[in-house]
Structure 1
Amino acid sequence: MTVHPLRLVLVNTPIGALGSGRGGGVELTLTSLVQGLILQNHRVTLISAMGSQLPSRCSAADLVEVDGVDQPSWQHANSKSSVIIPRNGLLPALWKAALEHGERADAVINCGYDWLPLWLTPYVRPRLFHLISMGNVAMVMREAIEALACSHPGRLAFHTHRQAADFCLPGAAKVVGNGFDLSNYNMQTKTNGPLGWAGRIAPEKGLEDAAAAAAALGEPLLVWGFKEDRDYADFVEASVPAGTLVWRGFCSTQEMQEELGRCRALISTPKWNEAYGNVVVEALACGVPVIAYDRGGPGELIKSGETGWLVPADDVAALTSALNRIDEIDRMDCRAWVESHATHEVFSARVYDWIRDGLRADANLTGTY
């Protein structure tokens, strides 16, 4: 495939600086995408909050930092919540900078999940593309996504088909998956390590079910992640015998993969329609099988019986039973799946195809590219 280098502006989530952990999986997605696009010789400008840090392998990107108050996450809103933008908000500050830099770019890629950039798309000269990072969590967001799918279908992409199915789209969804720099993940063949769980510590991630399964087996559970909801973390810890949860905190990719790779299995227990499941693929990259609820992105990523086991959603007994079958999984098959489906090279190539096709569609309508 011939790649024609583009000038691209990428916009981070308006929830925290890059590297803080507050942006959840978007941070890892964004850095992987930047790295892959740079390898394809695209010129990349990243717009992010003040205090953001890019990994060394993304140093060829131009980082533009803007100041502002973090945007409330739609993840914690109810389905009928209204659009809220705080005074001196980071969201409008990011998009002011993005539109300014977008005037000199071929395309602007929105990696955050919020209403403003979706609404702006038909009315501004820079061509805005949106990598949707969550499923249907609020009516106002669903309506904005579905409206844009009707007016500008080429401007939307999703991580998985299950995520895209949350929305009523006029045609087939563009699904680009996700990707990771596998040089950051060491394949480990050890099979008798502890159980692990990773993610933001928040109710929609379902840590209490993983804790219950570990407790049923009388084993500790190593937990990595940012404690977004400390009351919830306390609740989960109180629900199982003392010492069941071993809090490892928010770690760098290097630190986490070293510890995660020693695990016998990773448990994934989403209570919502997870758009993708970054930590699932990170575990597989280390050769760690994944036991997961058959819900959302993880249910699309895991090959049950080959790279782990899928069990009915919210069934702790089935989760516990599947943990006893980990030895049936070949850890080399876990790594092989990632090498074929989820490297940052594969991911950035899919994103490039999406942007290229969208720009060509615009050119057919306007006569300009």
Structure 2
Amino acid sequence: MRDALRIAIVASSRYPIAQPFAGGLEAHVWHLTRALTLAGHEVTLFAGAGSDLPVDSGRLRAELFEPSAAARSDVSMPALEVMHDHHAYLSLMLSFSRNPGEYDVIHNHSLHHLPVAMGPAVQTPMVTTLHTPPTPWLESALTLAPGTRCVAVSRHTARSWSHVLGDIPVVHNGVQLDHWPVGPGGDDLVWFGRFVPEKGPHLAIEAAHRAGRRLRLAGPISDTEYFAQHIAPSLGDLVHYEGHLHQHDLAHLVGSCGATLVTPVWDEPYGLVVAESLACGTPVACFARGGIPEIVGKSAGVLVPPGDVDALAVAATQALGIDRGVVRRHAEDHCSDTAMIDRYMDIYADLVAEGPVAGAWSFPQEVPV
């Protein structure tokens, strides 16, 4: 039995950790926070307003900054949401610095550069999970904070950061398997995720048409113009939009379909929809991009060259014939939140054993007036 830890989890300051999820990162943090709390740890979450977890968990609330009229009128004033993000992370990291004994471990999942850049100001051990390939601001921060402890969500993502960080550990995201029960399957295909061009749902529609199969779509319409131009005109008897579903309803939908189409037009750092589909016993037909091949393996789906819609249509029919029990067992062996939590607990234990970060910057407890 591991000792209980006081863990601060830093997520997005902009998006709530609540269902229906804004994206895969929010879903991941929701599951991680819940699993750690149920395991007996004292978890405090920093996330966007409106976060809602099904277990008791503390909340970190950063100060909301509203620039003065003078500041707003300055030519350098960025978008207001950019200032809100900046102030939220700045106030949070200063709070961590001024209260070094409040937490045993800080686990950073944000995509913002400030938690990394200000990491040396915090004595509490911190680890950052890299959910994306390099972005300019985050790469800059990691270049200037070379001692930052990082893990990646896939070997593909780890390789994309190797020019900055060298070799770093990999912890694949996990899903709570009992929340994604095996479904009976069916004749329909399903695509689920955010409706944005880089996720490629329009390619899923093309592949389903060529395969002669009904396609059911689900997820948030994050890009309304894209949806209106490339998705809405195809909706009808053979292509149906089910809406932005809560997790329980989404699991029921995925489990009732014969195969999931996964169609990214960029290199997915991980591919949480793949893990969720496999947990339901629903095999996948997908483009072999980014970290997706690591999740699918050789038995749980059919991989095709990126962008090849004809091959995807053939793969969809092939995937319908894969044994759903084999798919579920693959998910149990490779995609469970239990394996993910065990791996993170090992990392937390190493950080705690190393003790407070030496040489952390110090800030005054009070600012003189």
Please tell me the TM-score bracket, short chain as reference: 0.7 to 0.9
Structure 2 partner of 1:8: 7
User: Hey, what's the Cα distance between the residues in 1 that align with 2:231 and 2:330?
Assistant: 34
User: Hey, what's the Cα distance between the residues in 2 that align with 1:218 and 1:160?
Assistant: 34
Tell me if the contact between 1:21 and 1:27 (Cα under 8 Å) persists in the aligned partners: no
Structure 2 partner of 1:78: none
Structure 2 partner of 1:345: 338
Deviations, residues 47-100 of structure 1 (Å, cap 9, x unaligned):
222221112xx22x212344648xxxxxxxxxxxxx977465045325524653
Does the alignment pair 1:235 with 2:235?
no
Equivalent positions of 1:73-152 (< 5 A) are 86=81, 89-94=84-89, 96-97=91-92, 99-100=94-95, 103=100, 104-136=102-134, 138-148=135-145, 150-152=146-148
Tell me if the contact between 2:9 and 2:45 (Cα under 8 Å) persists in the aligned partners: yes
User: Hey, what's the Cα distance between the residues in 2 that align with 1:95 and 1:4?
Assistant: 31
Structure 1 partner of 2:178: 183
After superposition, the Cα gap between the structure-2 partners of 1:126 and 1:84, relative to the gap in structure 1 and judged at 3 Å, is farther
Structure 1 partner of 2:209: 215
Structure 2 residue matching 1:329: 3-state secondary structure = coil
Task: Return the offset for 1:112.
Answer: 1.4
Tell me if the contact between 2:154 and 2:291 (Cα under 8 Å) persists in the aligned partners: yes
Task: Return the offset for 1:147.
Answer: 4.4
Structure 1 residue matching 2:184: 3-state secondary structure = coil
Structure 2 partner of 1:42: 41
Deviations, residues 256-307 of structure 1 (Å, cap 9, x unaligned):
1011100110011111221211111111111000111111121210023x10
Tell me if the contact between 1:48 and 1:94 (Cα under 8 Å) persists in the aligned partners: no
Tell me if the contact between 1:286 and 1:335 (Cα under 8 Å) persists in the aligned partners: yes
Deviations, residues 111-152 of structure 1 (Å, cap 9, x unaligned):
11111111111223333321111113x33323333544x323
Task: Return the offset for 1:13.
Answer: 1.2
Consecutive unaligned residues of structure 1, counting only runs of 5 or more, are: 70-82
Of the two, which has the highest radius of gyration?
2
The total of aligned residue pairs comes to 343
Consecutive unaligned residues of structure 2, counting only runs of 5 or more, are: 66-77, 360-369
Does the alignment pair 1:203 with 2:197?
yes
Which of residues 287, 290, 294 in structure 1 aligns to 2:288? Answer: 294
Task: Return the offset for 1:159.
Answer: 0.6
Q: Percent identity among equivalent residues?
A: 27
Structure 2 residue matching 1:246: 3-state secondary structure = strand
User: Hey, what's the Cα distance between the residues in 2 that align with 1:181 and 1:365?
Assistant: 37
Structure 2 residue matching 1:235: 3-state secondary structure = helix
Tell me if the contact between 1:48 and 1:66 (Cα under 8 Å) persists in the aligned partners: no
Which of residues 326, 349, 358 in structure 1 aligns to 2:351? Answer: 358
Does the alignment pair 1:163 with 2:163?
no
Task: Return the offset for 1:156.
Answer: 0.6
User: Hey, what's the Cα distance between the residues in 2 that align with 1:26 and 1:176?
Assistant: 14
Structure 1 residue matching 2:302: 3-state secondary structure = strand
Structure 2 residue matching 1:292: 3-state secondary structure = strand
Structure-2-length-normalised TM-score? 0.85
Q: Which amino acid letter does the alignment assign opposite residue 36 of structure 1?
A: A
Q: Which amino acid letter does the alignment assign opposite residue 218 of structure 1?
A: G
Task: Return the offset for 1:4.
Answer: 2.6
Structure 2 partner of 1:247: 241
Deviations, residues 190-234 of structure 1 (Å, cap 9, x unaligned):
3x3310011111111111111110121233321111100011112
Q: Which amino acid letter does the alignment assign opposite residue 178 of structure 1?
A: N
Deviations, residues 231-258 of structure 1 (Å, cap 9, x unaligned):
1112222674754431122111101101
Structure 1 residue matching 2:44: 3-state secondary structure = strand
Structure-1-length-normalised TM-score? 0.85
Tell me if the contact between 2:10 and 2:110 (Cα under 8 Å) persists in the aligned partners: yes
Does the alignment pair 1:322 with 2:305?
no
Structure 2 partner of 1:283: 277
After superposition, the Cα gap between the structure-2 partners of 1:22 and 1:345, relative to the gap in structure 1 and judged at 3 Å, is closer
User: Hey, what's the Cα distance between the residues in 2 that align with 1:324 and 1:183?
Assistant: 28
Structure 2 partner of 1:332: 325
Structure 2 partner of 1:74: none
Structure 1 partner of 2:362: none
Does the alignment pair 1:64 with 2:63?
no
Root-mean-square deviation (Å): 2.5
Q: Which amino acid letter does the alignment assign opposite residue 120 of structure 1?
A: M
Q: Which amino acid letter does the alignment assign opposite residue 64 of structure 1?
A: L
Structure 2 partner of 1:75: none
